[in-house]
Structure 1
């Protein structure tokens, strides 16, 4: 079973507002975003990291953060830029790719080739480590699935911004 990445607004009691997409789809989406706009691709990656993970990956002092702390590196003040990128570039590019059934297979040449491209990309792509077990053939790179995950992320970011609350992120 593919691992999942959980996004939860701090102190949110409505479980329907939490999202938990599969890690392979999020990694594929971030890779696709990176190919569109490397700066925003990195910001999307940073939005998936806890403050602790961000500090470890960037070799920064950890302060009081520990591996058990899942507070996201990004907060409400970062959401507008991500939402704008998703609306203005990511969604239109995914829509333009609809002639391809599966990004991983049709655009990147299969799971193994995708993983090679992924890890040959910017170092930050490796922050959420993926492997073949995180790719579900016919699902992970399937364009309608990626569109759904994109909209889920956008809606989550909008909720973080509107509520002006922090969120937590962790992988299981």
Structure 2
């Protein structure tokens, strides 16, 4: 049995996770809605070290072991508003399974891997998917919104990692 890889978000002794393909599907869909807002959402899900490496910023004392999420309150607030006002309603209105809409798993992986945007950060594989219908993806985005809201409430970053 091959296990799918997942992205985890920890906050307040809670943990949410997405299969990596499911997360990539949500982010790809978000880019189709608004690439600028989707980028802020995506950045809020990166560790600070990954963010700095990706943007060629000084790493300071951070290493790849750092799991604290990139934390800029104004950008996280914008990401939360995007999830609430745009992404969740759009996903809930989807009548067709998103993987089918994008031509199936293999075609979606090709679309994802050939993107020239920030999404290329995560490589995904066929066994990395669990959900692909709009309603389920909207539910996951609601969980992510809650995690991001909590980080602002306590004024500290969530923990984020892939395994």
TM-score (norm 1): 0.86
**What is the aligned-residue RMSD (CA, Å)?**
1.6
Question: Which of structure 1's runs of 4+ aligned residues deviate more than 4 A?
Answer: none
Aligned residues of 2:70 and 2:157 also touching (Cα < 8 A):
no
Kindly report which structure 2 residues correspond to 1:19-168, keeping only aligned pairs within 5 A, or say none.
Answer: 19-97=16-94, 99-100=95-96, 102-105=97-100, 107-135=101-129, 139-168=130-159
Deviation at 1:113, TM superposition (A): 1.0
In structure 1, stretches of 5+ residues that fail to align are none
Deviation at 1:75, TM superposition (A): 4.1
1:4 aligns with 2:6: yes
Aligned residues: 161
The secondary structure found in structure 2 opposite 1:81 is helix
Structure with bigger strand share is 2
- Give yes or no for contact 2:69–2:157 (8 Å, CA) kept in 1: yes
Distance 1:144 1:92, change over 3 A: closer
Q: Tell me the TM-score normalised to structure 2 length.
A: 0.90
Partner Cα separation in structure 1 for residue 72 and residue 56 of structure 2 = 20
Cα distance in 2, alignment partners of residues 95 and 167 from structure 1: 26
User: Any unmatched runs of 5+ in structure 2?
Assistant: none
Q: Distance in 1 between matches of 2:154 and 2:56?
A: 31
Q: Secondary structure at the match of 1:6?
A: strand
